[in-house]
């Protein structure tokens, strides 16, 4: 009998649950709004109802290999305990793993959502495509998430906070971050940071007057030839290049992946990102591929993500199959 697994992607807005075969084909999916205001009990109930429904739908054609959950951080791992998640008020100290296992009576693997997305890119996305099993993925969204995969497995560190590269300091004493530090990569390369930079330049309305200014509206203006909007994305690329220089010098991985909504603007930020990385890391200069767009063995490759916004959901379903690395 074939096996299947179930992934849960707990977002601040939507709760997505899906079943996948062991070769990562989707068998069924349930999406509901995340009832944050109704509290952790309601959200746990919604998760369990969706999981039970998918087990009922898929159980005849296969055996359940396990359930994985990708959650916003910070989390204590592998215990699977939420700490103080900024996007899930009221969910502080929630024992996600314990509570789900109590309700579902099956083993549940909990992981940071950015780590789950990195795992999916490794085994079914940019990593699989280019043949690498070790990578670091930066997810540029509301914040900058990041995950490190070493030899096909998530690197946790000692308390589950490995790969928080969104909080690598890129400009000493730079912009104040929500984490309380200054100059974190997240303050220069997230969609939030890009929108803020645009609002500082143009006010809150988008350049074409059609709505609120966003990372996307600024990208559209840059693509249409607006120099100031392009300048904002040059800054995104520079910050990413500094952050990547730090990661390349520390980790010497063969693959770095940029994902999240902002990656749609790859053409706008990639030139300054590669220029800064080249300036900032002699290891990158020693291992620079001949063509940055083509994977090259023995070189440091930087690519856009392949899987889009479903990476975290698929990665959650992969968790039962790939034990994490802890220190």
Residues binding a copy of itself (CB under 8 A): 74, 83, 132-134, 148, 150-151, 155-165, 167-172, 179-182, 242, 245-247, 249-254, 279-283, 285-287, 298, 325, 327
CB 186 within 8 A of CB 166: yes
Residue with tokens 């030899």: 151
Q: How far is the CB of 217 from a copy of itself (least distance, A)?
A: 28
Determine the Cα–Cα distance for residues 181 and 233; give it in Å rounded to an integer: 23
**Sheet containing 2-10, strands listed edge to edge, beginning at the edge strand earlier in sequence:** 26-33, 14-21, 2-10, 62-71, 108-112
Q: How far is the CB of 55 from a copy of itself (least distance, A)?
A: 34
Closer by beta carbon to a copy of itself, 106 or else 161: 161
Of 97, 17, 96, the closest CA to residue 50 belongs to 17
Q: How far is the CB of 29 from a copy of itself (least distance, A)?
A: 32
Q: How far is the CB of 168 from a copy of itself (least distance, A)?
A: 5
Closer by beta carbon to a copy of itself, 4 or else 274: 274
Closer by beta carbon to a copy of itself, 96 or else 165: 165
Closer by beta carbon to a copy of itself, 66 or else 243: 243
Q: HEC profile for 82-150?
A: ECCCCCCCCCCCCEHHHHHHHHHCCCEEEEEHHHHHHHHHHHHCHHHHHCCCCEEEEEECCCEEEEEEE
Q: How far is the CB of 152 from a copy of itself (least distance, A)?
A: 10
Closer by beta carbon to a copy of itself, 168 or else 307: 168
Q: How far is the CB of 129 from a copy of itself (least distance, A)?
A: 17
Determine the Cα–Cα distance for residues 120 and 322; give it in Å rounded to an integer: 11
Closer by beta carbon to a copy of itself, 29 or else 171: 171
Determine the Cα–Cα distance for residues 180 and 48; give it in Å rounded to an integer: 35
Residue 53 token pair: 């429904």
């Amino acid at each position: 009998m074939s096996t299947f697994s179930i992934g849960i992607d707990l977002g601040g807005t939507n709760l997505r649950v899906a079943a996948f075969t062991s070769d990562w084909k989707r068998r069924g999916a349930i999406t509901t709004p995340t009832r944050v205001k109704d509290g952790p009990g309601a959200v746990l109930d919604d998760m369990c109802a969706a999981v039970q429904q998918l087990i009922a739908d898929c159980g005849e054609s296969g055996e359940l290999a396990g359930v994985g959950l990708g959650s916003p951080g910070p989390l204590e791992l592998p215990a699977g305990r939420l700490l103080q998640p900024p996007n899930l008020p009221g969910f502080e100290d929630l024992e996600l793993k314990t509570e789900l296992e109590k309700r579902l009576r099956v083993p549940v693997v909990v992981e940071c959502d950015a780590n789950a997305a990195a795992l999916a890119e490794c085994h079914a996305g940019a990593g699989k495509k280019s043949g690498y099993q070790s990578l670091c993925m930066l997810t540029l969204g509301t914040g900058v998430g990041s995950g490190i995969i070493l030899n096909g497995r998530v690197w946790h560190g000692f308390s589950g906070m490995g790969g928080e590269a969104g909080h690598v300091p890129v400009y000493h004493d730079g912009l104040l971050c929500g984490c309380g530090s200054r100059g974190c990569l997240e303050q220069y390369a997230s969609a939030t940071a890009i929108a803020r930079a645009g609002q500082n330049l143009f006010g809150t309305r988008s350049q074409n007057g059609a709505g609120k200014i966003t990372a996307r509206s600024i990208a559209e203006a840059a693509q249409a030839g607006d120099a100031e909007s392009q300048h904002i994305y040059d800054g995104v690329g520079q910050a990413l290049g500094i952050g990547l220089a730090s990661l390349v010098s520390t980790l010497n991985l063969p693959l770095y992946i940029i994902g999240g909504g902002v990656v749609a603007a790859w053409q706008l930020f990639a030139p300054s990102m590669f220029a800064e990385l080249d300036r900032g890391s002699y290891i990158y200069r020693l291992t620079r591929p001949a063509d940055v767009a083509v994977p090259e063995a023995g070189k440091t490759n930087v690519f856009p993500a392949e899987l889009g916004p479903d990476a975290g959901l698929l990665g959650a379903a992969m968790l039962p199959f790939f034990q994490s690395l802890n220190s």
